[in-house]
Amino acid sequence: MKKYLNNLPEKFNTVISDFITKLETNTEVQWEQIKNVTRGNDLESTIGDLSIPVADIALIPIQLIPIGGNDQLSIGALLQRDKPMIRIRYKAASEPANHLVRLEKDALIGCDSENVLHQLQDILPEFKYEMVSEEPGSKYDGVVLLDNEQDNKIDLSAFDSYFDFNPRELIPPAGENVIAAVCLKSFSEIREILLDLNESRVSRASNIERRIQKKMAEHEIHSAHVYCEIDLQEYYHIYLSAFIPGSGYRKTRLSTSVSTGADEDIVNQFFAEEKNLSESH
């Protein structure tokens, strides 16, 4: 069996290694790592703008897969998900204004996500924020980067400290840290193998996040961040952050024992809270 790995960041190495170990117990493995997405006549199929070379299985971030899926490709399994904690890297100050992120008051933090920037303004109001420029040099006291390509553009050696935010507090994009194992829908035998390796809790949480993302997009809101967590009692705790033109960024949360309709419930709650807030002013 030939597989394909799409240059995933190193942070996924452990998760991928565990998945491969499980896969090897079910089938003979010939693993290939291809660093860059290729384009040409030898392509087996396409997911959005991502071209997949001839392969039996592809491991890719679920965020690259269009919501609603693909005519030819099937998500066979979702891998174990590390908690999607957004990290701030910074240079610690001698007289910090905050005990969690040890920076001086009015320290400048660069972000590559407007959603994250506005969330941080509420969480850590003692600091200043701006969107990172292409060549920021060393002017930032700290950075928060969701885009792995930005990591390569910015010299991180100046930062000696970091802090990881709980995703319940600093809400990540939908599907953050979720890796999907996809295959052709015609490969029924492989689909059966992958089904046995699917992480059910990750699948349920990810499905809710992506359904909410889709519903927010239907309201012309494309920058929503969503996180769903399932506790030991099987309750779903859902967190949503989004920008409403003319109103700014808003957050809401919902806890429910039922996943069906949870996406619609929290979206309705989000807009109801916004309406009430607008009318109160």
Domains defined for the chain, CATH in brackets? 3-81+177-198 (3.40.190), 86-165 (3.40.190), 208-280 (3.30.160)
- Out of 16-20, 138-142, 205-209, give the one with best mean pLDDT: 205-209
**Any idea which of 38-42, 140-144, 230-234 has the lowest mean pLDDT?**
38-42
Report pLDDT for 6.
Answer: 52
pLDDT of amino acid 257: 96
Per cent of the chain over pLDDT 70 is 81
Q: How confident is the model at residue 34 (pLDDT cuts 50, 70, 90)?
A: very low
Mean predicted confidence (pLDDT) in 35-42 = 35
Q: Mean pLDDT throughout 112-136? A: 90
Q: What are phi and psi of 74, to 5 degrees?
A: -120, 140
User: What is the band of 39 on the pLDDT scale with cuts at 50, 70, 90?
Assistant: very low
More confidently predicted of 224 and 7: 224
Give the mean pLDDT of 260-280.
85
Which position has the token pair 């910015």? Answer: 154
Element (H, E) at 181: strand 179-184
Average pLDDT over residues 101-115: 94
- Four-residue CA torsion sign, 104, 108, 113, 114: positive
Residue 31: closest CA among 43, 48, 42, 17:
17
Residue 162 half-sphere exposure toward CB, CA atoms < 13 A: 14
Most confident of 51-55, 137-141, 152-156, 212-216: 212-216
Q: Tokens 């969330």 appear where?
A: 119
Distance CA 34, CA 206 (A): 26
pLDDT band at 151 (very low <50, low <70, confident <90, very high): low
pTM of the model: 0.85
How far apart are the C-alpha atoms of 71 and 73, rounded to whole Å? 6
Of the ranges 103-117, 180-194, 209-223, which one carries the lowest mean pLDDT score? 180-194
Mean pLDDT value across residues 169-174: 96
What one-letter code names the amino acid at 139?
Answer: K
